[in-house]
Amino acid sequence: MKVVYKERELSRTDLVDRTRYSAFLVSKMCDELLAAGLIRETGLGNSTGGRPPTLLSINPDIGRVVGVHIGTFNTRIVVTDLAGEALAFRKVPSHVEVGPEIALASLISEVEATLAGAGVELDQVRGIGIGISGVLERSTGTTLFWPKVPQWTNVPVKRRFEQRFRTAIEVEDTPRTMALAERRFGQGSQASEFVYISVGAGTGAALFLRDQLYTGADGFAGEFGHLMVDAQGPLCSCGNRGCLEATLSASALIHRAEAAVSQRLSTVLWRLTGGDPAKTSIELIGQAAQEGDRFSCSLLREAGTFLGLGLVGIINLLNPRLIVIGGSLAMAAGRFLLAAVEEAIRDRALVNQATELRVRLSELGEVDWARGAALLVINQALEISVLDRLSRQQNVEGD
């Protein structure tokens, strides 16, 4: 079932090739899944001589899933079918600054309102997947630490949702849920060795190695923002100097652009913000760069160079086939970053590691980020049902 889902549509013969199970076993499993309504026949494939094969795909209507992407500033909520297609979406402020209790209660109401708006009953919901920007203990779904909002230390996000919803709750950090979306809906769909970089309020990475999300021994793999790229660089929130995140994150750039506005270093930014430093945003920096503002262009170019230096370490160490850069900074000003990133990689990465590498900007948007969170549930649900079936199958054969 997992394979049917991954490939979207394929025949029984394809399934034998992919799973290496016998034709007999595949056929029996497909019959069972069809009988249970979990997959459906969607048409005829191309014949290679004989009768054209029947194509199978997941039945998306056997359940609904919620995806919640909790960012530092905004939360995106989506209701999807089991194929991950969006049925309803809303974007609301995260209000993390009011503290976890009130903010989570408010987000839970927003989830309920989104479901109600889509006409989805709670008992149709197979699960809720949550992506959150803080540092997570994955086993319990608890935020250990959220650098930008210290009140969010040891917040049991998963438990709060479980108390309200009687369904499976999965929690993961946002670079990973965004990477799941990229892998399924975006440019990562063909690369088994793929690194996703998220550049937003903070900077994070998610690693797809041998076609699986790699989480490390304790679930903390992918911390990319604290790679040292400039020993003389600014102090970082982690206490070190010169971390990538301290020079590259949206917060770091806004901080410098605010100073430029108050000191009138950029006439374009001054005009776009109406001279109010508090109005500075990543979107306006991106817009100023589009208009050719030298300050904004060089700010973004420098950020891209540091991002590139950090990526060189990942490229040399992991030799990925594809790097996709996403997040709010990439959405607002990606092309200014990308040119500098590519130059730094050309200058500094080792030749063999970089020859086959492609670096791309994500083309996914905020709805997709929330769909990525929904994939936490969808992938899990399908995995469990196929494993269940397989182990039952094997016991029967072994007895």
Q: Footprint of its own copies on this chain (CB under 8 A)?
A: 20-25, 135, 144-145, 191-193, 205, 207, 209-210, 212, 214-224, 226-232, 238, 240, 309, 312-314, 316-321, 347-348, 350, 352-353, 355-357, 391, 394-395, 397-399
Distance CA 260, CA 255 (A): 9
Q: Across the strands, what pairs with 69? A: 76, 131
Q: What contacts 255, CB < 8 A, 6 or more positions away?
A: none
Closer to its own copies by Cβ: residue 205 or 375 = 205
Minimum CB distance to its own copies, residue 309 (Å): 7
How many whole angstroms separate alpha carbon 351 and alpha carbon 305?
Answer: 18
Instruction: Rank residues 292 and 398 by Cβ distance to its own copies and give the closer one.
Output: 398
- CB crowding 143-171: b at 16 or more within 10 Å, else e: beebbbbeebeebbbbebbeebbebbbbb
Work out how close the CB of 204 gets to its own copies at its nearest, in angstroms, rounded to a whole number: 11
Q: For its own copies, which is the closer residue by CB, 25 or 108?
A: 25
Cα gap 309→341, rounded to integer Å: 8
Nearer to its own copies, 213 or 333 (CB): 213
Nearer to its own copies, 125 or 246 (CB): 246
Closest of 326, 316, 329, 313 to residue 227, by C-alpha: 313
Identify which of residues 82 and 227 has a Cβ nearer to its own copies in the complex: 227
E strand segments, 200-298:
203-209, 212-214
In angstroms, rounded to a whole number, what is the distance separating the alpha carbons of residues 267 and 272? Answer: 9
Residue 99 beta carbon to its own copies: minimum distance, rounded to whole angstroms: 23
Least separation, in Å, of the C-beta of 316 and its own copies? 4
Taking the complex as a whole, how short is the minimal distance between the CB of residue 188 and its own copies, in angstroms? Answer: 13
* Nearest-10 Cα torsion for 162, 163, 164, 168: 20
Structure tokens at 198: 């998220």
C-beta of 87 vs 228, nearer to its own copies: 228
Residue of 125, 171, 215, 203 whose CA lies nearest to 372: 171
CB of 59 to its own copies, least distance (A): 26
Least Å from the CB of residue 115 to its own copies: 34
Say how far apart CA 242 and CA 219 lie, in whole Å: 25
